[in-house]
Amino acid sequence: MSTNQLTTAIADALTRHFPNIPIQPATGDTSSTSDSKGITYRLLSAQLTRERSDRFVQSYGFEIRWLDPNDIPATLPDELFEALETIDVEGTSYRATELRWETENDTPRMLVYYTMRTTKVSESAATMQQLEQRSTALKAAKE
């Protein structure tokens, strides 16, 4: 699974659970203006760690923000938990390993983490075949 697929799945989940609220990717500016409405999302971290030669752990962290910190619905944290606890990525369900509602500089945000284990499928090697050996006798030429 790619980072873009996971990010798209998060945007789709938010759009389904909040159909009347604008959902958009976060810009570099984390400050919000008084006329901002809606929810933003952004990837905070992506990490690939090797466990063994053929097994990897992918970890992703996302930040979800409500744009108007002065008008936060009381049910927003619960609704975000419900929307993001399990997401569908191209037919496969992924469950969040951590969901955390916190405040940063008096601005509330939801942190969501997803962790997946993947296995590298090695190419199938050609099976061993029987080796035929023929011996030939060499005759010395007489001089």
Partners of residue 101 on adjacent β-strands: 110
Q: Strand 86-89 to strand 92-95: parallel, antiparallel, or no bridges (unpaired)? A: antiparallel
State the Cα–Cα distance between residues 58 and 48, nearest whole angstrom: 5
Residue 97 belongs to a domain: yes
Q: At 8, which amino acid appears?
A: T
Three-state DSSP state, 127: coil
Residue 81 belongs to a domain: yes
Residue 7 belongs to a domain: yes
Residue range 38-69, pLDDT digits in tens: 899 999 999 988 888 788 888 999 999 988 87
Domain total of the chain: 1
The pLDDT value recorded for residue 127 is: 65
Which tokens in the block code for residue 113? Answer: 């983490």
Q: At 105, which amino acid appears?
A: N
CATH number at residue 57: 3.30.2000.10
Residue 141 belongs to a domain: no
Backbone angles phi, psi at 129, to 5 degrees: -115, 160
- The pTM assigned to this predicted structure is 0.73
Residue 108 belongs to a domain: yes
Q: Give the domain range for residue 100.
A: 3-27+35-119
